[in-house]
Each structure stands twice: as C-alpha cells, then as structure tokens.
Structure 1
C-alpha cells in the first residue's frame, strides 16, 4: 500500500514537531513549512493527501494557503490550526475552503478522527479525478470524435482554443486535456476573464511587488506564476480588454512575465488553453479582438458540440443527472415518464447540458411519487424560437472594442411607442423599454440570469448592473 504524504504549515517549531510525531504514528509521511512561500513551493513539488496550516504566518496568512489549495489542488483536503476559542477564524477558514479546523493545544484524539476523515475525503476526490474521462457522457458520433480529439491534443503542448456555446462543458474539456497530458501533476488554473475588473487584470495575471501601487502591502504572485509547469485556462477570453490582449500576446511570445513594480521579467512555463461562447473569428473581423493574439491561442481549435446536435445522448445524460440528484437527496433516482423523455428529446436546449441539469433539478422538486411527467419539466413552448433568435444575435457581436462594450439592443426589444410626439421624460422612457426587454428575457428563460444575459447579448455582470439599476428583484 502506497504511503500518504501530509504537509504541516506552521511557524512554531513545537507544533510542527508535535504534528510530525503524531501523524507519523498514523503511517503518514510528514513534510513541513514555516512560511507561505515555503508552503507554495512544497505544494508544487508533491501531491499531498492532506494539509494543516496555521492561521498566522510570518509572510501571510493561512487563509491564503486555504484559498490556494481550494483553487489549484481541490483533491487535497486542508484544515486550519486556530487558537483556542477563535470561532471567527474557524468560520472564515471553512468559508475559504477548509474541510475542518483543529484548535491549539491540539487534542490528539480529535486530530486522529480529523485525519481519518481527511484521508477518506482525499481518496474519494482522487477517484473522481481519475474517472474524469467518464464525465464526458455520451456515445454519439460528435462525442466520440471529441474524446478522440482530446486524447490527441493532450499529448501536445500547443495552445488550444475551445469553441462552444454556453453550458456545453468547455471547462470540463480543458480539464481533461490537462489531466491526460504530461502536465497532469502540475496545477490547472482556471480564470474567468469576464469576472476580473479591468483595472485589476494586470496584477491578477502577472502579480505585483510590494509598494508598486496603493494597497500593494505585500508581494503577490499572479495567475501565470500559480500555473507554473501546468495549465492556465482562460475562460471567456473574448472578454479581455484590448490592453490586456497586448500584454498577453507578449507573455505567450516571450514566455516571461513582469510583475507590476518589478525591474525584470520572470520566465514562465505554462500551457495556454482558452475558450469562449462567442464567435472569436467574427470579433477579429470587427476589430475587437487582436488577430495576432487569435492566431497565437488558436493553434489548435476544438469545437464542443451543442446538446441539440447530439440528442441521442440526452437519455444517458438525464439518467446520470437523476442519479446524482437522488444521491444528493438521499432518495432513489426519479423516473422519467415516456412523454417527459420525448419532450426532452424534442427540446432545443439553448443552455445545453447546464440547462438540462437545471430542468431536471426543478422537475425532481416538483414531481409526485418520484415520477417526472411532462408537466414537471415546464419547458416553454416558445423558447425554441427565442433561442434561435438569441443564437443569431450571439453570432453577430458588436463591433465596439473592449471587454465591457455596450451591446446593441436585442432583436426582440420592446417596440417604441407609436405616439408621434416625444416622451416628456426620455430617461424614464428608455428605462421602461429596457425593463420590458429584460423582463421578457427573464420570463422566457424562467429567471435563469445566465441564459437571459445571453439572449440579451449582455455579459452576466452587465445584466446584474441593469437589474440593480432598474430595481428588478
């Protein structure tokens, strides 16, 4: 039986020695670190079955380590070591991604139970990871072709551009490329380019030096450094503003980054995978995405098929989703009545697999006797036409450059009033027109904000801003 490794991060030598001795008696090989920097280095060198970190460290906090492990090493359970009675720190640790906490002075019996739970959790997560290929569910020709292509591109180190509609599983494909390739033991770092404010992007991607700008109280490593030796996945890469497109192009060409405030560049060894639901080639034609960057990230293009192009996979997908929901609810999986399955097979699913999961989760909650009828699905009859119109709009992006450019009004926006005169309050009239379009999209998507934003040609952030501005709950 292979040995399990544990990492103990604490600046107190007595604590490190106590945990090393105790965990060693539980057949664990223990490695230690006294600082955040040492811990980061250790985590890049080995996979650990579990980690313990102190709350306060000389060069940072345990919260940083917990967030790092949760984001880049999700298969590794991590527990916080807190001062006795510090409930707030324990709660913050759990929110950040810790699976448990242990208080000083350490109770050996409590520690043993915690370790047993952590090892079981670690094994379960590793088993899930090793079976990740099975998450690409479906035996249709498009899915078999996709799996074959993933196996080929995984062996390469070339950048891969993953194209596909929202909800098709582009991040899952990116993770599989990483896990099947030679970088599988190194970090996989996903980043949603549309979720990072423009003014913070350079710091997030490349890091910064202490004192380089107001609020930079310590050195910070960027996402490229976090992915060193592994894979950086740029999701929604079309949302990158132009100034970041220029900087990203240089990093890819030079294989080096310069943190804000640093005098010299630092070499990086990172494979770039990128994805977006938008038509990136059209954005290049319209001048809102750099052509040279497009060619750099699009060395290999991989298309993820929409669910409507592989309808024969729907029964198997639905079965897996219902099994998972039953397990989560502690019940037997719900059954799909024949008419309900027929309705699913004829539905276009503009939100793809993600929408199928949402539809079934709602149906499980609404159905009687654990049997899902066609009425429990609540599929909108008119949504197919709306989804077709929305898809046509999504493939005709605005020519305005920049990640946060305002899109044109959607094709189905409310018609202006036929009154020949001018409105007495233009702002109110515009707001009312905007409200009508948003409400129509929300009702058509059953208040799924992500799907509604797509229909309106907005980013999710832009839709949230408008909802707040218009007072729509």
Structure 2
C-alpha cells in the first residue's frame, strides 16, 4: 500500500495536533479504515499495514513517530515484533490494541516497551487521548535531554546584552528584526564576544521560544563522531553502535539548533549539513530512513568564513546558505564605554554564587580596565571579575605583564606561589625597581594614580 500525505487542516491547527507520522498495523480492514479516517486529517502522514512484516518495510523507508499495533496478527504477533523493535533501537511511541486481553497480556505489553494499551472496541476520544499522551511523553523526553545538556553550558539568566554603546544598541536592534523570521543566521565574531548569548536571545525572542535551544560545539566533537552526534545513527552503523540513537537534530525539533565553531566541521559533514538544511530532512548514519525536521539553524564561528572558503576549508555553497542573515559581534575594545556596566553586572551576578560581597571598583582601577585591549573580550572581563571576587582584590595590574620584570619573578620560574595577588605585587615592585623608586613615574607606567599605588605598597608593608 502506498502512504497517503495529508496537509495540515484547520481542525489540526485548532487542536494543536502533533505533526506526526503514524504507522497502523492491523489485519482487520475495518479497523484500518476507521483509524485512517480518524487520523488522516490530523497527522502529517498515515501509513497502514496488515502484518508485522509489512510494517517493517515501512519502518525501513520512512520515519515513524508512532506505531498503533494490534497484538493478534498473522505470522509474528504484535508483542514479539515490539520486542524486536526495541532491541533494534526504535525509540518511537507504540500503542498496542487488542480485542482479547487479560492482566498478564497487558503487563507483558508494557514490559516489551509499549507506551499505552487499549482494548477494542474503542471510541475516537480514547485513541486521540492516547496519542496526545504519547506526544506529551515524547516532548518531555526531548526537553529533559535538552535541559540536562544545557545545565552546564547555559549562561546565567540576566540582561541578554549589557551596555548602552552604539555598537550594542545596533546589535539589539538587529536581534529584534532577525528573531521574527525563520531564516538561518550566521554569527561571526572573536572568541569571547558572546555569540551563544546572542543566539539564545534570538531564540528567546522568536516564535520558537517554547521549543528547545540545542547548542553543540563542533570543535569539541571528534570528526569521526560528529555526523552521528548531529543526525543520529542506526544500530550496527559502526563499531560500538549497539543500539540506535537519535541525534541533536531530533532533539531540536520545534526549536533552534545552534552550531558553534562551525568552521571546524570536516568537509564531508559540511555537504551532509547543507543537504539537511535545504531539504529539512536528515538520514541517521547507517539508516535508509529520511526523517523530516522542523527547526531553525544558527551557526557561529570566530574565523572569517570568507577566508576559509577562499582557502578551500569551507564549502562556498554552505557558507552562502548559512549567511542568509549575517550578524557580526563587536570586540570589547570597540565598545569600551560598556566596561563599567559589564563589570558591575558580573559583580552582581557572580558574588552571590561565590558567597562573597561585591568589590568596589575605584575610578583609577576603572581607568586601568578601560585602557586594556581585552584580547579575550567580554569573557576575559568576566573571568577577571570572578578571580578578583575569589581573591578579594581587583587584580587589574595582572592584565599588563611587564617587559622589564626579571626572569626570576616570572610565573612558575622559581616555584614560588603564582596566585593573582602575588603576581600583582611582583609586577608593581618590579616597575618601582625599574624607575628607581619614583612612585609618580611608576603610577604613570601602571596606569593608576599615585594614591592607589601608595595604598597598595602600604598594605604590603603592614602585612
């Protein structure tokens, strides 16, 4: 039998019915007709089969979200086939139906991996409620996976973008415009400029905000495993694949997939990714099934992708497919007027989690921060604030390693302590020594006031 495709109907939209593919396996033609008539207006695709063997043919060639399976079938019965499906790694939902059942049969069905168990004859509301429960269980399973993955990677929730500089205001305006469309987005900027933060904000302001945000660092996954990580794999697809596994495209259904460090993808995977973005279908490694996906792709890189294309390290067609919308994030050295607000934000954000009081930043110290070029960008500033909170002193002079520091005082050279407080002291004393104790000249070289310098030296003298 050929599958029948049914477009979304007003009824489906009103009920919020899941856009699922459903396989019905029953040897009673009347039951098949009843279920197809009931589900066809509400589902993306309905397929039917009269035996487990025919059902297996559909599963080999089509993605199936739910199987409605009769227990009593010619040849292999439903429970036996369900056990085989679970052993092979089928992770979709399964509702078992039967006209003859007792408690032992129900228990056996649930142990075999059934999501629900319904007795014939049943009414339309019963089967619809069972399917909705399956959809909710599947949605929660995806959300739990995404939440577990995001626990250690998600930034603390606060103002999405901190700062009032023209550069940040322009970025905010761009995010507001871009969030409402479904186009792919390419975020380019140096390391530490906040590309994932911007991607999360784009997702939060979009119509997909209720769906998952799934980040993946392409540089952190080995080239041998990245295809399986993104698209999933079938059982036996490669050595060690003892069961089937869904990929991150699957878990990002209805939401956003964020591909960080996309320039690190091997060229063969770039071709596969291009096809997935254009067709909105993926093929798990070792599988014949094409699985439709409904998600938005965002990508980020700290490299200049046009140069990577020119060097032959990145596909030109994928580059243009990704940069439908291209957002460039400014380095911190280009909006230094935001440093004071950023530092205050990080103080407020980090101090409670560290169990300490926020530090006060003097005007001299702020001047010191604003003179630095911040090669590590906002991330470097955040790390400095966190270290300073732990040590109890704002260690700004550690940002300016002295070229006149004697080799014996370089970190690690003599086995002496190399914490930030000690490094600050060593650096300032070496500057004083280089100018023969002239505190005015030393303060100028350090970028602080003479009063700040004298206060630090007095603290060490009294220690």
2:386 to 361, 364, 368: 361
Alignment check: 8 A CA contact 2:146 2:214 kept: no
- 2:149 — aligned with what? 71
TM-score of the superposition, structure 2-length normalised? 0.55
Change (3 A) 1:239 1:232: same
SS state at 1:318 partner: helix
Does residue 1:379 correspond to 2:399, yes or no? yes
* Unaligned ranges ≥5, structure 1: 1-10, 14-30, 48-64, 75-95, 98-124, 384-438, 440-445, 447-473
How many angstroms apart in 1 are the aligned matches of 2:296 and 2:274?
Answer: 13
Contact 1:256–1:265 under 8 Å retained in 2: yes
Unaligned runs of 5+ in 2: 1-105, 111-128, 404-412, 414-419, 421-463
Structure 1 residues 313 and 187: CA distance shift in structure 2, 3 A: same
Aligned residue runs from structure 1 range 33-432, under 5 A: 39-43=137-141, 67-71=145-149, 132=158, 134-367=159-392, 372=394, 376-381=396-401
Displacement of 1:359 after TM fit? 1.5
C-alpha displacement of 1:221 = 0.5
TM-score by length of 1: 0.54
Secondary structure, counterpart of 1:264 in structure 2: coil
Native 8 Å contact 1:322 1:334 kept in 2:
yes
Shift of 1:279: 0.7
Task: Could you list the structure 1 runs, at least 4 aligned residues long, displaced by more than 6 angstroms after superposition.
Answer: 35-38
Q: How far did residue 364 of structure 1 move? A: 2.8
Q: Name the SS for the 1:274 alignment partner.
A: strand
Size of the alignment, in residue pairs? 279
Instruction: Tell me if structure 2 keeps the 8 A contact 1:366–1:376.
Output: no
| C-alpha deviation, 1:36, in angstroms | 11
The offset of 1:199, in angstroms, is: 0.8
After superposition, give the CA deviation of every residue in 1:328-360 in whole Å (9 maximum; x if it has no partner).
233331011221110100100000011001122
Deviation of 1:209 (Å)? 1.3
1:16-69 C-alpha deviation (Å, 9 max, x unpaired) = xxxxxxxxxxxxxxx999x9997433456xx8xxxxxxxxxxxxxxxxx5x543
Please say if residues 192 and 376 of structure 2, whose CA atoms lie closer than 8 Å, have aligned partners that are also in contact. Answer: yes
How far did residue 367 of structure 1 move?
4.0
In the alignment, is the contact (CA less than 8 A) between 2:261 and 2:300 conserved in 1?
A: yes
Structure 1 residues 171, 382: closer, same or farther in 2, change over 3 A? farther
How far apart, CA to CA, are the structure 1 residues paired with 2:352 and 2:130? 38
CA contact (8 A) 2:358 2:389 kept: no
Q: How far apart, CA to CA, are the structure 2 residues paired with 1:331 and 1:141?
A: 33
Q: Deviations over 1:226-246 (max 9, x none)?
A: 111111100000000111011
CA contact under 8 A between 2:368 and 2:396: conserved in structure 1?
Answer: no
Q: List per-residue Cα deviations over 1:418-460 (Å, max 9, x = no partner).
A: xxxxxxxxxxxxxxxxxxxxx9xxxxxx9xxxxxxxxxxxxxx
Aligned 8 A contact 1:349 1:356 in 2: yes
Q: Counterpart of 1:332 in 2: which secondary structure?
A: coil
